[in-house]
Amino acid sequence: MELDLGGIAKGYIADEVEKVFKENGVTTAIIDLGGNILLEGDSPKGGDWKVGIQDPFSPRNTILGKLPARNKSIVTSGIYERYLEVDGKKYHHLFDPKTGYPFDNDIAGVTIISTKSITGDGLSSAAFSKGITEGLKFIESHQGVEAIFVSKEKKSVYHFRLKRKI
């Protein structure tokens, strides 16, 4: 038997780091664990932090837009950073347990905005597994959670809860 907590480990760690910070009087911080960002308090510039949402079809640090947030976790799961290419075909790291192969759906990336990072970790993987249509329905059933879905066709970016495209 093997127990793999990879799907929620970074979220759990980010939440634990936040607890340590709070216990030690830290009121403003960014905890960045690569794909998992936890924002505490106001930006040093005042007000919300501005977090870039990675464009999954462009080089690192090319963003689709900036997401204003504070006291939130922002977690992204996508097909564009961790993958293996064999004979010109890319195999990303998000596996369908039914087939043993990467999920094959319409999502290039999904970002979850929530209060706890461990929640974002679990929900980003779960929403990714469902594709955009079912993923949106899934996120809609969770209170206090927002999601940004980026399709493989590069045609749509949906920000659920704000009811608008970004």
Higher pLDDT, 33 or 97: 33
Rg, Å, the chain Cα set = 16
Is 3 a member of any domain?
A: no
Is 114 a member of any domain?
A: yes
pLDDT for the residue numbered 4:
58
Range 56-67 average pLDDT: 86
Closest C-alpha among 45, 166, 86, 84 to residue 95: 84
Residue 26 pLDDT exceeds 80? yes
Is 62 a member of any domain?
A: yes
Is 2 a member of any domain?
A: no
Contact yes or no for 53/111 (Cβ under 8 A): yes
What residues contact residue 56 under an 8 Å CB cut-off, 6+ apart?
A: 78, 79, 80, 108, 109, 150
pLDDT for the residue numbered 2:
57
Instruction: List the CATH number of the domain containing 74.
Output: 3.10.520.10
H or E element at residue 130:
helix 117-140
Range of the domain at 119: 9-165
Q: In sequence order, what are the beta bridge partners of 74? A: 37, 113
Is 160 a member of any domain?
A: yes
pTM, two decimals, is: 0.84
Residue 164 pLDDT exceeds 60? no
pLDDT for the residue numbered 165:
41
Name the domain count of the chain: 1
